[in-house]
């Protein structure tokens, strides 16, 4: 698992770290990075919660909308999990209202926001606000 402070250990291990970094890249692109972070003890950055919504498929999105991601071992993450579930429901509703495909909204509204949020830190309410604004702007400017 890649996390801040790990770079020095990775550089010391050299090529041995390549498979782990490759797996982390795959997780980032398929939306499962959040799952691996929640399973460990490392901090979970706010963009990782958005990563789940940005990259999961519509079937998983429906599941998340009905049930927040599992964070049982880490009670401090429960509010984040509920936020992701709420935002999943919103994404599905916005897609229906606008007559757009879910993956189109993910690319247009969430992907740019995910990249923008890397390196910043705030709580669930601010993530909710930013995602809802992105949905509203995307719905208004249909491409």
Give the ranges where the chain is alpha helix by DSSP (H).
7-13, 18-30, 33-39, 46-55, 58-66, 78-98, 102-105, 111-117, 124-140
Residue 12 lies in a domain: no
Residue 82 counted as domain residue: yes
Chain-centroid distance of CA 40 in Å reads 16
Average pLDDT (74-93) is 93
- Number of separate domains in the chain: 1
Residue 24 located in a structural domain: no
Banded pLDDT at 139 (limits 50, 70, 90): confident
In this prediction, residues 54-63 reach a mean pLDDT of 92
pLDDT at 11 over 70: no
Name the pLDDT band for 27 (thresholds 50, 70, 90). low
The answer to the question of residue 18 being in a domain is: no
Residue 85, phi then psi, degrees to nearest 5:
-65, -45
Residue 57 lies in a domain: yes
Q: Is residue 23 domain-resident?
A: no
Q: Is the pLDDT of residue 1 over 50?
A: no
Taking phi first (over 0 means left), then psi (-120 to 50 degrees means alpha), and beta for anything else, what does residue 121 get?
A: beta
- Residue 58 belongs to some domain of the structure: yes
Higher pLDDT, 8 or 55: 55
**Which range marks the domain in which residue 104 is found?**
45-140
pLDDT of residue 9: 45
> Does any domain span residue 4?
no
């Amino acid at each position: 698992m890649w996390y801040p402070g790990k770079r020095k250990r990775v550089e010391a291990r050299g090529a041995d770290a390549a498979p782990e970094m490759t797996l982390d890249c795959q997780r980032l692109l398929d939306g499962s990075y959040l799952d691996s972070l929640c399973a460990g003890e490392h901090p979970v950055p706010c963009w990782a919660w958005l990563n789940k919504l940005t990259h999961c498929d519509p079937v998983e999105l429906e599941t998340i909308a009905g049930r927040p991601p599992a964070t049982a071992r880490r009670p401090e993450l429960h509010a984040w999990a509920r936020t992701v579930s709420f935002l999943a429901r919103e994404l599905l509703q916005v897609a229906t209202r606008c007559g757009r495909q879910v993956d189109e909204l993910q690319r247009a509204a969430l992907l740019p926001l995910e990249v923008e949020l890397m390196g910043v830190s705030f709580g669930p309410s601010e993530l909710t606000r930013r995602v809802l604004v992105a949905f509203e702007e995307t719905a208004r400017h249909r491409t």
